A and B are shown apart, each in its own frame.
Chain A
Amino acid sequence: MTDKLNSYRNQPDEHGHFGTYGGRYVAETLMPLVLELEREYKAAKADPAFHRQFEDLLEHYVGRPSPLYYAESLTAKLRQDAPEGKGAQIWFKRDELNHTGAHKINNCIGQILLAIRMGKTRIIAETGAGQHGVATATVCARFGLPCVVYMGATDAARQQPNVFRMKLLGAEVVPVQSGAATLKDAMNEALRDWVANVDDTFYIIGTAAGPHPYPELVRDFQSVIGREAREQLMNRTGRLPDMLVAAIGGGSNAIGLFHPFLDDRDVAMLGVEAAGHGLDKEHAASLTGGAPGILHGNKTYLLQDEDGQITEAHSISAGLDYPGIGPEHAWLKENGRVEYTSITDKEALDAFQLLCRTEGIIPALEPSHAIAAVAKRARDMDQDQIILANLCGRGDKDIFTVAEALGVDL
């Protein structure tokens, strides 16, 4: 496969396909809009003024570049249980230090600049954990655009702090009652809003999924993570990492970290899905436990039954609780460039506490899945090897969920 490809970085094709995945599976009402967005994104990509504004906001508003941090204490802790000479160095790309506390803001800055370019005057978004909703509400406040955020009622209940944050930022939060009232249902409702308000509304999708060109443009906006990390690690150590690790719900922080490294053949990559209660029980691991299908505008791996009905995902992390995955990950799984694994709720909770205690960093439950995978892999790697993981969000929003899971009454 490798020999047939000149590069892993030249996807999607002109029709928005990543191999057989991706595409534009939307209702006809939305097709002209999606095509217009594609034209506008092409123009923006070629416009130095667009890039200048994007980069200026990332630097001065978001606080980029985010630090690259050598987690010396965690590394030492994991070496205690590792075989002699084993225990890779663990480095974190600290996107949890971004304004709003996660990587989501990178993408929202890019998309709202596109929305303004297109003359749109109203913004909608879906959110799971609320991080993307908060990031969207934030950029809407900054640019003075009205914002409606669709959020599954179940998620809204377990992420009350983020619901309140969005409201403080001036957004209208609409709890969605249909289905299991989580992320996919929020996305259905956002699509219903969009199709009824095509003239004035821009849909800021929160992950590298949906109809073309969303997977591409979200990836491009998030790729600042990998570009910075590559340069920072080169500057600090003079070498590339041996392995990249990132958590995957829809997959935007992972593709943002991975994409700039895809053609560095010696850099291994590990995407970490949410195994929930276990892969044989309820989970949210579309790649490891799903099958290809069509949902929410793209062809990709989905949790579904034999009739193509979408099954409910489960994860302790609301941000990973989605039965699909960005189409570029489906393609990267199929060609073998990226390895995908999964981590259970319990393992993620353990890793959450491990990072709190060893590094004084409270991670979000999403990157806690990545940290759990890092801990497993590090012990089999040599001490001079480097694992670079994306710490894509901070855990303040999750303390209530964690307290409940640990049986602590706040």
Chain B
Amino acid sequence: MNRIEQAFGKGHPALVCFLTAGDGDTAANLDALVEGGADVVELGMPFTDPMADGPAIQAADLRSLAKGTTTRDVLDIAAAFRSRHPDVPLVLMGYANPMVRRGPEWFAAEAAKAGVDGVICVDIPPEEDASLGPALRDNGIAPIRLATPTTNARRLPAVLEGSAGFLYYVSVAGITGMQQAAAGSVDRAVADIKAKSDLPVAVGFGVRTPEQAATIAAVADGVVVGSALVELVGEHGENAPTHIRELTQALAQAVHNARKDAA
């Protein structure tokens, strides 16, 4: 069983936490996520033009790039995380251009070497899979795709084909960190996906508080929290780890116990 499968096989919903690489003391912040109980860690690759992101992650990307973060730095952060946390799944998330700049094979091989388990690329849909997907699969990295409220039943099989690791269900049509979807619509969407796939379904976009996370976790295999954590880095800088650990603990408790509490 690989690391991602293990994370979703613990008998409770998984908490997936996102932070932007190179923003603040990233190593300490990532450690705080693990100490707080995150089951999967998503490491954002900063990009100058994050057009699917809301203000929080836009600002994090700019902070990171202003400090001079390079692709090499992101890979080094990943590799160091892997050596400190051999069992925690690590997923890179970002945009196509930095991933394909030196060729998809280079990126996939370097990510594999750094111990990355999966890659989420926001702007490579299944139709353009050839730009990155084959290189990831050849290197044993899971291409994690996104499904959204606009992904209809006719299209869903194309999204699932070639996906691995887990499916990231974007609960609202919109950008990261804004409004939250109604639990009812998420419940139906997750059920539709699970009827067609064995992949675990993690739900994200707009999940900020333990209460919201618990509501989503009651109907999904995992909950993704990003902007709320990223904001703590922006607000507290070098002192962020304490705050991140605290929020992650609260989120983890809510997510891990969501089904028990609902039952």
A and B associate in one complex: yes
Residues of B within 8 A of A29 (CB): 148-150, 170, 173-174
Query: With A25-B124, A28-B146, A28-B151 in contact, do A307 and B159 touch (Cβ < 8 Å)?
Result: no
Number of interface residues of A (CB under 8 A): 38
Residues on A with C-beta less than 8 A from B174 are 29, 195-196
Task: State A187–B131 Cα separation when bound (angstroms).
Answer: 23
Which residues of chain A (253-283) have a CB below 8 Å from chain B? none
A28 touches B51 (CB 8 A): no
Decide yes or no whether B182 CB sits under 8 A from chain A. Answer: no
Q: In the bound complex, do residue A28 and residue B127 qualify as a contact, i.e. CB atoms below 8 Å apart?
A: no
Contact with B along A344-388 (1 / 0, CB 8 A): 000000000000000000000000000000000000000000000
Smallest Cβ-Cβ distance to B72: which chain A residue = A307
Known: A29-B148, A178-B58. A295 touches B49 (CB 8 A): yes
Q: A33: nearest residue on chain B (CB-CB)?
A: B150
Check if B48 sits within 8 Å of A293, measured CB to CB: no
Chain A to chain B contacts (Cβ below 8 Å), 24 pairs: A24-B128, A25-B124, A27-B146, A28-B148, A28-B150, A28-B170, A29-B173, A29-B174, A30-B150, A31-B127, A31-B150, A188-B49, A191-B51, A192-B52, A196-B173, A198-B150, A198-B173, A295-B97, A297-B123, A302-B97, A307-B70, A308-B47, A308-B98, A309-B48
Q: Is the CB of B52 within 8 A of A195?
A: yes
B125 touches A28 (CB 8 A): yes
Q: Is the interface of A mostly helix, strand, loop or mixed?
A: mixed
Residues in A whose Cβ lies below 8 Å from that of B191: none
A307 touches B178 (CB 8 A): no
Across the two chains, which residue of chain B brings its CB closest to A302? B97
Decide: B48 and A32 in contact? CB cutoff 8 A: no
**Which residue of B has the minimal Cβ distance to A198?**
B173
Q: Which residues of A contact B58 (CB under 8 A)?
A: 178
The closest CB in chain B to the CB of A297 belongs to: B123
Q: With A25-B123, A295-B49 as known contacts, state yes or no: A308 contacts B150, CB within 8 Å.
A: no
Q: Which residues in B have some Cβ–Cβ distance to A below 8 Å?
A: 47-52, 54, 58, 62, 65, 70-71, 95-101, 122-125, 127-128, 131, 145-152, 155, 159, 170, 173-175, 178
Task: Add 8 more A-B contacts to A28-B170, A199-B173, A308-B100 (CB < 8 A).
Answer: A25-B131, A26-B125, A28-B151, A188-B50, A192-B52, A198-B173, A307-B70, A307-B71
What sequence of 0s and 1s flags, for each residue 66-79 of chain A, a beta carbon within 8 Å of any chain B beta carbon? Answer: 00000000000000
Contact residue among B54, B101, B159 (Cβ-Cβ distance under 8 Å from A293)? B101
A309 touching B123, Cβ below 8 Å: no
Contact A23 B127 (CB under 8 A): yes
Whether B123 lies near A196 (C-beta < 8 A) is: no
Task: Chain B residues near A307: list those with CB within 8 A.
Answer: 70-71, 98, 101
Query: Using a CB-CB cutoff of 8 Å, which residues 13-64 of chain A contact chain B?
Result: 15, 23-33
Separation of A28 and B173 alpha carbons in the complex (Å): 10
Secondary structure of the B side of the interface?
Answer: loop
- Complex: A179 Cα to B159 Cα, angstroms: 32
Judge if A409 is at the interface, Cβ distance under 8 Å: no
- Bound together, the chains give a CA A295 to CA B155 distance in angstroms of 24
A98 interface residue, CB < 8 Å from B? no
- B contact residues around A23 at 8 Å (CB): 127-128, 131
CB of B103 to closest CB in A, whole Å = 11
Within 8 A of B (CB), among A176-194: 178-179, 184-185, 187-188, 191-192
Most chain A CB inside 10 Å of its own CB: which residue of B96, B98, B101: B101
- Distance in angstroms between the alpha carbons of A196 and B127 in the assembled complex: 22
CB distance from A291 to the nearest CB of B (A): 8
Residues of A within 8 A of B (CB): 15, 23-33, 178-179, 184-185, 187-188, 191-192, 195-199, 293-297, 299, 302, 304, 306-310
Q: Do A294 and B97 have beta carbons less than 8 Å apart? A: yes
Cα separation A187 to B54 with both chains bound (whole Å): 14
Q: Is the CB of B127 within 8 A of A293?
A: no
**Pair A184/B49 contact, Cβ less than 8 Å:** yes
Which chain B positions have C-beta within 8 A of A308? Answer: 47, 71, 97-101
| B146, B155, B174, B178: most-surrounded residue (chain A CB, <10 A) | B174
Residues of A within 8 A of B47 (CB): 308-309
Complex Cα gap A62–B123 (Å): 36
List residues of chain A with CB within 8 A of the CB of B178.
Answer: 196
Report the minimal beta-carbon distance from B221 to chain A, rounded to whole angstroms: 19
Kindly name the residue among B54, B70, B98 whose own CB sees the greatest number of chain A CB atoms within 10 A: B98
CB atoms of B98 and A28 under 8 A apart: no
Question: Who on chain B is nearest to A23 by CB?
Answer: B128
Q: Which of A15, A31, A188 contacts B51 (CB 8 A)?
A: A188
Q: Chain A residues near B131: list those with CB within 8 A.
A: 23, 25, 294, 299
Question: B51 — which chain A residues lie within 8 A by C-beta?
Answer: 27, 187-188, 191-192, 296
Residue of A nearest to B175 (CB): A192
A299 CA to B104 CA, complexed, in Å: 14
B48 lies within 8 A of A310 (CB): yes
With a CB–CB cut-off of 8 A, which chain B residues contact A195? 52, 173-175
Partner of A28, one of B62, B95, B100, B145: B145
Chain A residues whose C-beta falls within 8 Å of the C-beta of B99 in the assembled complex: 308
How far is the CB of B104 from the nearest CB of chain A, in Å? Answer: 11
CA distance A302 to B97 in the complex (A): 10
Q: In the complex, what residue of chain A is closest to B150 when comparing beta carbons?
A: A32
One of A25, A28, A197, A299 near B159 (C-beta < 8 A): A28
Residue of A nearest to B158 (CB): A31
Query: Is the beta-carbon distance between B97 and A293 smaller than 8 angstroms?
Result: yes
Contacts of B149 in A (CB 8 A): 29
A297 CB to nearest B CB, Å: 8
A192, B57: Cα distance in complex, Å: 13
CB distance from B22 to the nearest CB of A (A): 11
